[in-house]
Structure 1
Amino acid sequence: MPPIAQAFQNARHILIRGVNWLGDAVMSTPAVMRLREACPQASLTLLCHEKLGPLWQGHPAVNQVLTFSSEDSAWKVGLRLARERFDAAVIFPNSPRSALQVWLARVPVRVGMAAPWRNWMLTHPLPPRPGHVTMRKRTPEEIHRLQAADKPPGPPPPPAAHHLYHYLHIVAAVGARAEPLAPTIAVAPEVEQHIQNRLGTLAGPLVGLCPGAEYGPAKRWPREQFIELAKALQTRWQAEIILLGGHHDAPITGAIAKAVGGRLRDWAGQTSLAELAAVLKLCRVVVANDSGPMHLAAGVGTPVVALFGSTSPYLTGPGLPGETRHQVLYRQAPCSPCFLRECPADFRCLKELSAPEVLQAVTKVLGGG
């Protein structure tokens, strides 16, 4: 057994420095479960930003959750961690700050991805995994040139390019299995019951629509298409529509709610993270842009119809790569994926996805009972 794996086998208290974004956190759950499997004797503590703390509370693979705020300095976080006397740590983010927090905690074994400005803070900096694909942003000039050439897109990246494998690569270095698992998020029964009571009696299937994407408008399917889809779901399935997202999504959901009317609930910005997970679990199907709620819906076991624009489903698709429960709609343009927040061209990657096409994908789920 390699020394690094032996160190984790002998560790009694292991720190996992979690990631800072909701979607990434969900994609990291398979690695946390594999680490739990590899180190059954250890107490696993997960450190994350306070906004994601509820996501990990009650997760079966984690013994303790520690959080920090945006105002907390790395020094303050490190001193707090030092009191816990961790034996070893895995660091999921690639940032210098996350490595500095763990270095300041004087954890003797510190494992994470090699990157400039932080390698000296790691005892074991790891090389990139096989199949790694960099998410490089295209320039506006490059996008216009590719669209003018109008060549078909190249072959898709290998399955191992999915970001879920990034975290599995890190825990595999310390002796855990690298085989993927479906991302899994636990929902507390009392929170689920609270949401059921809040929803009341439903006259039709509950369909969640998540029209936002915090990254930027290049990820967002047009609002008009969501309106058309919601009206069609009400007509075709007598569906109970619920609009979900954060406070920043309220202007979008408010406009959709006003245009659609009928059996529609606008809960954007009106749920905690734990409540959002619960309502997503209670939906029969969720239609979402590439976003945190998309990953969260998959993590609680709900079928997802995922709409991809500027990003790549091969890298950040919902659930376990290749899982047939979820359906990905991706109209790959010559310039796709560009990874930009705003489209400098004609936004064809998402404009060409029609409401009838998305309705057909939803119908595959609802029609299956």
Structure 2
Amino acid sequence: MGRILIIKHGAFGDVIQCEGALRDIREHRKDDEIVVLTTPPYRRLFERCPWVDRVMVDERAPRWRLGLMWKLGKQLKAEKFDMVYDLQNSPRTASYFRWFFQDTNWSGTAPGCSHPHRAKHPKKIRTLDRLAGQLKDAGVPVRHTRHPDVSWLAEDVTALLTEAGVTRPYIVLIPGSSARHPQKRWPYYAALARRLIEDGQQVVIAPGPDELELAETIPGIKLHGPRGFINWFEFAGVLKGAAFVVGNDTGPTHLAAHIGAPGLALFGSHMSAERTGIERENFTALEVAHLSALPIERVLDEIYLRAKLPAPA
């Protein structure tokens, strides 16, 4: 039995999107142990993944902290990996190739890599196509990479919804985004929620720890766990049961798209929806030059066109 390392540090949406690639590697390496190297926020996600045997944590210490980098390198070298798939493809992980893995088979964009991904699969192409190209070049049959399915993340949230007074059908709104990208936030979720509620629809919001104040400005049922917010697995269960989801270009919206929920992502000029791979049979996107110019009526029209919801009274 061999030992395989997959590197995926983040971010959340990218972790969700690499699910199909993990499954393809698992099917290609049925008899090998598959280890994922990730960062602390995503450890529990990968530990639940059915295609992964073990998880190692990379604290991503500054590269000038030579003692910590030496410790990480010692841990990785001691594993004696037969193959490394670098699904992060960042300057940092390229440095890991130079420092830790020059004598190991490597699939990624590191300098000296035997697979020409830097030229053939630049980051300007769709994320899922880039992953598929990387695996294909590494000799991995590509069956699932372009079709991630993270249904295995979802917990049974019947009790959670009952306690909060949520009944089906319900619409989930995802009004937040990374604090580093406020331009990704459509500013009219409160008005959208009011209109939906006036139409007789049930609106649900499950804010993360950085979105608690934002959620309080938006009408609807708020789902709060013991710490003030529910965990990723509960949130996945909420999304899986939703009649429709509306969200910004953010990790939770990618989770909704790849868990099979019907929904709509709202994009400004910061990124092309096509590049992100968020559009699926069940999920579409609205793209505008400026999110502040996207009217509520257009979003409502898309919801009622695509969602199996009772018509407004």
Aligned counterparts, 1:234-249, within 5 A = 234-239=197-202, 241-249=203-211
Aligned partners of 2:246 and 2:263 also within 8 Å: yes
> Shift in Å at residue 204 of structure 1?
4.1
Q: Counterpart in 2 of 1:4?
A: none
Q: Counterpart in 2 of 1:220?
A: 185
1:113 aligns with 2:109: yes
Aligned counterparts, 1:67-86, within 5 A = 67-71=57-61, 73-86=68-81
Q: 1:328 aligns to what SS in structure 2?
A: strand
Q: Counterpart in 2 of 1:329?
A: 286
Aligned partners of 2:83 and 2:105 also within 8 Å: yes
> Shift in Å at residue 176 of structure 1?
1.3
Q: Counterpart in 1 of 2:213?
A: 251
Aligned partners of 1:207 and 1:284 also within 8 Å: yes
Gaps of 5+ in 2: 63-67
> Shift in Å at residue 317 of structure 1?
3.8
> Shift in Å at residue 221 of structure 1?
0.2
Give the aligned length. Answer: 297
Q: Aligned partners of 1:367 and 1:242: how far apart in 2?
A: 16
Q: Counterpart in 2 of 1:199?
A: 161
Q: 2:147 aligns to what SS in structure 1?
A: coil
Aligned counterparts, 1:1-369, within 5 A = 12-71=2-61, 73-101=68-96, 104-106=99-101, 108-114=104-110, 119=111, 122=113, 124=115, 126-129=117-120, 132=122, 134=124, 161-178=125-142, 180-187=145-152, 192-193=155-156, 195-200=157-162, 201-214=165-178, 215-222=180-187, 225-239=188-202, 241-256=203-218, 260=219, 263-267=220-224, 270-309=229-268, 310-319=270-279, 323-331=280-288, 333=289, 349-367=290-308
Aligned partners of 1:22 and 1:52 also within 8 Å: yes
> Shift in Å at residue 306 of structure 1?
0.3
Runs of 4+, deviation exceeding 6 Å: none
Aligned partners of 2:128 and 2:277 also within 8 Å: no
Gaps of 5+ in 1: 1-10, 135-160, 334-348
> Shift in Å at residue 188 of structure 1?
5.2
Aligned partners of 1:47 and 1:67 also within 8 Å: yes
Q: Aligned partners of 1:237 and 1:205: how far apart in 2?
A: 11
Q: 1:110 aligns to what SS in structure 2?
A: strand
> Shift in Å at residue 181 of structure 1?
3.2
Q: Aligned partners of 1:133 and 1:87: how far apart in 2?
A: 26
Q: Aligned partners of 2:92 and 2:69: how far apart in 1?
A: 7
Q: Counterpart in 2 of 1:337?
A: none
> Shift in Å at residue 16 of structure 1?
0.4
Q: Could you state the TM-score of these two structures normalised by the residue count of structure 1? A: 0.72
Letter in 1 for 2:109: M
Letter in 2 for 1:273: W
> Shift in Å at residue 34 of structure 1?
1.8
Aligned partners of 1:204 and 1:237 also within 8 Å: no
Q: Could you state the TM-score of these two structures normalised by the residue count of structure 2? A: 0.84
